[in-house]
Structure 1
Amino acid sequence: MELEFKKDFDEARKNWGLFWKGKLNRPIILAIIPKPGKDPVSPPKFGEALYRNHEDVVDQALRWAESHEFLCDMVPGFTPSLMVSFFPAILGAEVIEIHEAWGVDTAVSPFVKDLGNVNLKFRRDSKWWEQWVALCECFKRKCAGRIVFGEASLGYNLDTLGAIRGTTELMMDFYDNPEGVHNAMRQILGAYNEVIDEYIRIFEFEKYGGVTRHGFYADGLVGVPQCDFGFSIGKEHFDEFALPYLKKEIERLDAVEYHLDGPGNIIHAESICSIDKIGVVQWVAGAGNEKKDWTWLYEKINALGKGLWLGAASPEEAVSLWKKYANSGRMILGVHAETRDDALRYLDAFEAIR
C-alpha cells in the first residue's frame, strides 16, 4: 500500500510494527525536510478547526504534506482537533472561548457540584461532538490514501474529572468522598469507551493505522494517555484514583506513547511504567526545566523497560543514545537533517553496527 506523500509506506509500516514489539534493532528515525523547489507550508495549529473553515484546515494539512519529504520512518500524518478540553465538553461542560491575537483559546467551567449525585454521559447530541465528526469526515474525504490521520487520544482519568469538578474540590474529595470519586471515574471510563468505539468507526484504523500528534505511527489505535493532575498529588492518591482507570483506558489502545509532564509527575514513573502496554514515555520537563540534565530520569525509565523519545543532532549521537538507552529495544529519535542524504546517514550508521 502506498500513500501519495510516502511511497515507501509499506516499509515504514513494517518498521513501526517491529519497533512496537521491540524487535527493530535500531531506533525509529523521524526526519522531515522541505521538498526541494517548494516553499514549505506549516501544518495547521492544534485546535484551529474550532474557528476556521474545516475545508481550509484540511487543505492546509495537505499543502504541508505536499511541500515536505517524510524520510526514514516518518509517516505523513495529521490529527483532527478542536480544543484541549474536548472530552469534558462532550460530557456537558460549558466551553469558554478566549479570543487571542493568534486565534481562540478555550477552557471549561466545572459543573459537577456533588459527586454523590452525578450522572456523566457521552453526549452524542453535543454541538462539539457534531462539529468534530464533521471535521473528521472532511479529513477522510480529502486525505484517504494521501496522509494518515487520527489518534485515539482524549482527556484522561483525573484530568477530565478535575476539569468538570474543579481541582481544589477534587483534591478535597479524595479525603471526604473517595467512593464518590470512584463512582465518577467509572462513569467517565464508560463514556471514554463509547467515544473510543466511535473513533474506531470514524477513523478506520484497520486500513491505514493511526498516527499521534507527535508523529508516532502504529497499526490500529495509537494514543497518548497522560495524567497531568498527577503533578499535584502524591503516590498514594495517584495509585488509588488514577492508575486503575489509566490501565483500563490503555487496554483499548493497540500502541501507547505515555505523556509524562513535569517534575511533579516523576514520583509516579514506577506506577506508570508498571503498565505493560506502554511502549514509549515522552518526557516533557516543563517551563523553566528544559535545560536541566535529565539523564538520571532517562536511565530510570530505561531501567523500568520503557522506550524513550529523544533527539539527535548527528548519526554519532544517535548511535550513542541507542547504546545507552536500548533496554526495551524501543527508542524514537527526532533527528536533524537538512537533506535526504543527511537523513539516510542515520540509517547507514545503524546498519554499520549490526
Structure 2
Amino acid sequence: MNKKRQAVSPPLEGLGEASWKSNWEESKKHYTDWWNGKGLVLSMWEHLQEGVKPHATVAPPADAKDLKQYWFDPQWRADNLHYQLSRSSFMADIPPVANTHLGPGSLAALLGAELDGGPDTIWIRHKPGGEMNLKFDENHPMWKLHVDLLKACKANAQGNYYVGCPDLVEGLDVLASIRGTQDVLMDMIMQPDELAQQLQQINEVYFEAFDRIYNIIREGDESTFCYFSLWAPGTVSKLQSDISIMISEDDYRQFVQPYIRQQCQKIDYTLYHLDGVGAQRHLDALLEIDELNAIQWTPGVGEPQGGNPCWFDLYKKILAGGKSVMANWVTLAELEPLLDTVGNQGLHINVDFKNERDIEAALKIVEKYRSPL
C-alpha cells in the first residue's frame, strides 16, 4: 500500500466558469488549508433552497410514483438533484455537490445486504440466510445501480456542480450489515483470524469500487464525497466504524485501526466520522494514524450538539493530535464562543443554516477570525 501524497494547493483543473458557485476558487483555498490543519471552513451539511435565486432555469421532474422510483431510478434521481441544486445556496464554503448516496453503507449491498427505501433515507438491512460473497462483481445489479446513478448525474452536471461519491462505508459496519451485528461481535471472540481475513477482503472490494467511482466523478484531480459534503483536490472519503461503540480499545486496534489506516494511506484526504459519546475512547487509536487528515464529531441523539462548549476540550485534543476538526450542527449563537475557545486554525464548521441571512451573519463572524491580527 503506497503512502498517500501530501496535501497540496488546488490543481488548475476542476469545475470551470460554468460552476453555480461564484466564489468557488476562494472556498477551494479554504478547504485545502483546512485539510492541512490551517484556517477555517464555513459550510453546512447538504443545501438550502429557501429564498434562493435559481442559478438556471431547470424544470422539476414529475413527482416520483413511489419510493422505489424516488430512490432507485437513476435518471429520476439525477433529474431531481439537478433541479434541487439549481436553486440551492452555495454561499460561504458550501460546495455544489449532487448527493448520490444509496444509503449509509451501500458497499454492503454489493456483498449480500439489502437496500430498503424509506420516506427519509435508504436503510441497509441484513438479509437472513443470504449469501456473503466478499468479492467485487462488476455485473452485480447493485453495482450497476451505483454506476448508472453517477453517470446520469455527471451527464446533467455539465460542469455546474460536482457529483459526490456515495457513502460506501467500510470494515466492521459493512460486515454487520451483511451478517448481523451480533454474529460479527461473536467472531471477535470465536474466530478472530477469519474475521480479520474478511475485513481485508472488504477493504479490497472497497478500493476497487472507490477507484472506479473516482474515475467517473472526478473533475480533473478534484472530487467530492456526499456525506458531510466534502471536497478535496484529490481523492476524498469519510471513514467510520459506528459499531466500535460496542467494542473495547484493544479490539478497535485489532479489528478497526489497521483497515482504516490502509484507507488513509491510499486515499489522499480522509475524514473520520467519530459517532457517539462512547466512541470517544477510541480517539487515541485514531490519532495514532499519521495519514488521517481530520476527525468529525457526532455526539449522538439526546446529547448537546457540535457547537456546545462541553466538546471544546475534545476539539482541542484532536487539533493537538495533528488532525483537523469538523464540528457539526453548530448554531449561530455558538459560532463565536467556539472560535474564541478552540481557535481559528483547522476548523471546519457546519452551521445549521435556515436561510441566506443566517449565512451572511455567520460570514461576518468568521471573517473577523480569518483576518490577520
Query: In 1, distance between residues paired with 2:17 and 2:362?
Result: 21
CA–CA distance in structure 2, aligned partners of residues 333 and 66 of structure 1? 24
Secondary structure at the aligned position of 2:136 is classed as: coil
Cα RMSD (Å) of the superposition?
A: 3.2
- 1:259–1:284 contact (8 Å) kept in structure 2: yes
Deviation at 1:65, TM superposition (A): 2.2
Q: Is the 8 A contact 2:74 2:145 kept in 1?
A: no
Question: In structure 1, what is the equivalent of residue 5 of structure 2?
Answer: none
Aligned match of 1:107 in 107, 112, 125? 125
SS in 2 for 1:72: coil
Q: Is the Cα–Cα contact under 8 Å of residues 113 and 124 in structure 2 kept in the other structure?
A: no
> How far does the alpha carbon of each residue in 1:91-148 deviate from its partner, in whole angstroms, 9 at most, with x for none?
2x14263x656676441325588xxxx8620121111111111111101100131111
Residue in structure 2 matched with residue 10 of structure 1 by the alignment: 25
Residue 265, structure 1, aligned to residue 283, structure 2: no
In 1, distance between residues paired with 2:125 and 2:193?
A: 27
Q: Distance in 2 between matches of 1:69 and 1:217?
A: 16
Give the direction of change, closer, same or farther, for the CA distance of 1:193–1:211 in structure 2 (3 Å limit): closer
- For the residues of structure 2 that align with 1:275 and 1:129, how far apart are their CA atoms? 30
SS, match of residue 282 in structure 1: strand
Matched, 1:303 2:320: yes
Q: Which residue of 2 aligns with 1:333?
A: 349
What is the TM-score when the length of structure 1 is the normalising length?
Answer: 0.83
Conserved? CA contact 2:312–2:341, under 8 Å: no
Taking a change above 3 Å as real, the CA distance of residues 158 and 341 of structure 1, as seen in their structure-2 partners, is closer
Aligned to 2:339: 322
Deviation at 1:223, TM superposition (A): 0.9
Helix, strand or coil at the partner of 2:220: helix
Unaligned runs of 5+ in 1: none
Q: Which residue of 1 aligns with 2:364?
A: 345
Specify the SS of the correspondent of 2:195. Answer: helix
Larger relative contact order, structure 1 or 2 (CA cutoff 8 Å, min sep 6): 2
Asked if the contact 1:280–1:307 (Cα under 8 Å) also holds between the matched residues in 2, the reply is yes
Structure 2 length as normaliser, TM-score? 0.80
Task: Specify the code of the residue in structure 2 equivalent to 1:342.
Answer: A
Structure 2 stretches lacking a partner, 5+ long = 1-15
Instruction: Give the secondary structure class of the aligned counterpart of 1:197.
Output: helix
CA shift in 2, pair 1:173/1:304, >3 Å:
same
Contact 2:324 2:347 in 1 (8 A): yes
Residue equivalent to 1:124:
138
Amino acid at match of 1:265: A
CA distance in 2, matches of 1:285, 1:228: 12
Equivalent residues in 2 for 1:65-144 (5 A)? 65-91=85-111, 93-95=112-114, 97=116, 100=118, 105-109=123-127, 120-144=134-158
Does the Cα contact within 8 Å between 1:27 and 1:330 map onto a contact in 2? yes
User: Does residue 233 of structure 1 match 2:247?
Assistant: yes
> 1:235, CA displacement in angstroms?
0.7
Matching residue within 193, 199, 213 for 1:199: 213
Partner of 2:80: 60
Output one character per residue of 1:187-244: Cα deviation in whole Å (capped at 9) or x when no partner: 1122112112212221125354324421222111111100011011101111011110
Aligned residues: 341
**Aligned letter for 2:80?**
Q
Structure 1's 78 and 108: CA in aligned 2 closer, same or farther, altered over 3 A?
same
The 10-residue stretch of structure 1 (344-353 or 250-259) with the greater mean CA deviation from structure 2 = 344-353
1:279, 1:330 within 8 Å by CA — same for their partners in 2? no
**Aligned partners of 1:37 and 1:186: how far apart in 2?**
46
Q: Deviations over 1:251-296 (max 9, x none)?
A: 2222112111112211111101222232322111212223683344
Following superposition, the deviation at residue 59 of structure 1 comes to: 2.4
Q: Secondary structure at the match of 2:304?
A: coil
On the 8 A contact 1:48/1:81 being kept in 2, the answer is no
Query: Out of 298, 304, 315, which is 1:284 matched to?
Result: 298
Partners of 1:218 and 1:197 lie apart in 2 by 15
For 1:146-185, list aligned pairs within 5 A.
146-151=160-165, 153-185=167-199
Once the two structures are overlaid, the 10-residue window that deviates more, 279-288 or 49-58, is: 49-58
- 1:353 Cα offset (Å): 5.0
Inter-partner Cα distance in structure 2 for 1:307 and 1:78: 25
CA contact (8 A) 1:182 1:241 kept: yes
CA displacement, residues 271-330 of structure 1 (integer Å, 9 cap, x when unaligned): 01222232322111212223683344334333323222235544x854542343248x31
Distance 1:235-1:67 versus aligned 2 partners, 3 A rule? same
Runs of 4+ displaced beyond 6 Å: 39-42, 47-50
Identity %: 24
